Structure 1
């Protein structure tokens, strides 16, 4: 008798981490990892999300890739310390969601920020001469205040992005749009509250999520292992100084995160964000 043989990857669970703010580098890394999951024919994917969210477009691209992959394999999302705003949106691409009772989640909404340095520039005697093709070509310019018509344009953009978010949550979680809007006002809530609202399916740890994922595809939860794909890139500070442990020994433990946030702020200034930032 010839015993059926499953390729190695068919006996494993793929695992992808989404950590930190979601922007271009994260999108590229995750999309490449999702492609590998499909090519290697893993039976299931466990998505570990520990992110406050990020840019709208990058979050949407990851979500779209997850929904396509979800037509072929089972996907379970595990919310870590924080999975808010864009992190929630990405989680909607999973079939099931597990959160810790104390996970910080929610913050369903959109924010767009710009910088107005007009007063500072006046003090140092700096001004800009602008020639533009239309009245709104330099909208959100940092050297002047927004006009009322510009505020209306940006509010319309935010409202449209917000509606996209709400409809995605409503569809994924099989809730009415009105129900989602009742808690999609930017507030944050715990994993326990998210369960009551219908945003997540179960409370539990990442290990609980792994076991559930294995059961969903007929693997032994005691033996099924995870194969992590698309490891996070080191930050600029870590590449220069060394590992996080080395930074901690030097008393620079918070420097890496601060530099990452600064870089994110510079890259996304003027962009609509699905982001929770206290």
Structure 2
């Protein structure tokens, strides 16, 4: 005891650090023991076969964080399967297609199950079609297979304000969709051709992902929303149930036994600045152009 006192007096900083380190080890050890014996149902952070979870929430406006997370799961050999949890009404066509493509690549390496929450419609449903199986709640709002272009005509307001547009273009369709006048018949035909092509891409990818006859999908692709139960009857969904049902389906596909450890992402933006910049990016993509094509 005397030697210990002498050491603490000679090296107070080292002695204090050793005490703090010992206390931390004891606390962490106690928490691990407590967690093991009293919270067995929630031990998935430390024990069990690893299953990845991709959360897709809200309007789909940017894909980068989600596709990066999907790529991480694809490269991690410890991840034995993936659940894609979707709560989204859809969004911009390009980002929806990027997420779909990333999930397609993932599905070539691991089993993927889409789990629909309250809503997984249009772009949300499009993304789900990259999975091996789709699970929806009976009351989930889904399907809504279709594309729309939002065009605004503010000519009347601009005239009242005394504002007139003067635009020089390199071609007659370059200024199509301007807010200062209605569409001409030629411009309307032009936009309709763009929408039709994007819609056809949607239908083809749904038919491919669901292994359905393309004409059957086309008959359902009139923009109508469906409940999960209606979608199952139409062949657009495989099983009815919530997240736990999706885990059961993944178990059957992968042969996973015992406990499961959920590895969830993508990680949240870590700072207020990142969150603010993310909102600016959203506004640029949605509000910046004269018109936006959306799966919603």
| TM-score (ref. length: structure 1) | 0.82
Matching residue of 1:14 = 52
Once the two structures are TM-superposed, the CA of residue 11 in structure 1 deviates from its matched residue by 2.1
Separation in structure 1 between the aligned mates of residue 275 and residue 61 of structure 2, nearest angstrom: 19
Secondary structure of the residue aligned to 2:115 is strand
How far did 1:216 drift? 2.1
Q: 1:226 aligns with which of 255, 258, 262?
A: 262
Tell me if structure 1 keeps the 8 A contact 2:52–2:82. yes
8 A contact 1:85–1:106 mirrored in 2:
yes
SS, match of residue 210 in structure 1:
helix
Alignment pair present for 1:46 and 2:67: no
Cα distance between partner residues in 2 of 1:208 and 1:260: 35
Structure-2 change in CA distance of 1:232 and 1:193 (3 Å): farther
Alignment match of 2:130 (pick from 73, 83, 93): 93
2:294 to 266, 273, 276: 273
**Aligned equivalents of 1:204 and 1:264: distance in 2?**
34
Can you give the 5+ residue segments of structure 1 that lack an aligned partner in the other structure? 1-7, 241-256
TM-score, L = length of structure 2: 0.77
Q: Figure out how many residues of one structure are paired with residues of the other and give that number.
A: 248
Given the superposition, is the C-alpha separation of residues 9 and 66 from structure 1 closer, same or farther in structure 2, using an over 3 Å criterion? Answer: farther
Query: For the structure 1 residues 140 and 235, does the alpha-carbon distance in structure 2 shift closer, same or farther, using more than 3 Å as the test?
Result: farther
Higher helix content, 1 or 2: 2
Select the residue among 210, 222, 230 that pairs with 1:185.
Answer: 222
Deviation at 1:218, TM superposition (A): 2.1
Shift of 1:34: 0.8
CA 149–23 in structure 1, closer or farther in 2 if over 3 Å, else same: same
For residue 105 of structure 1, report the CA deviation from its aligned partner: 0.4
Q: Pick the aligned partner of 1:37 from 55, 69, 73.
A: 73
Kindly indicate whether the alpha-carbon contact (under 8 Å) linking 1:9 and 1:40 is maintained by their aligned counterparts in 2: no
How far apart in 2 are the matches of 1:167 and 1:200? 17
Instruction: Kindly indicate whether the alpha-carbon contact (under 8 Å) linking 1:105 and 1:190 is maintained by their aligned counterparts in 2.
Output: yes
> Structure 1 94/49 Cα, relative in aligned 2: closer, same or farther at 3 Å?
same
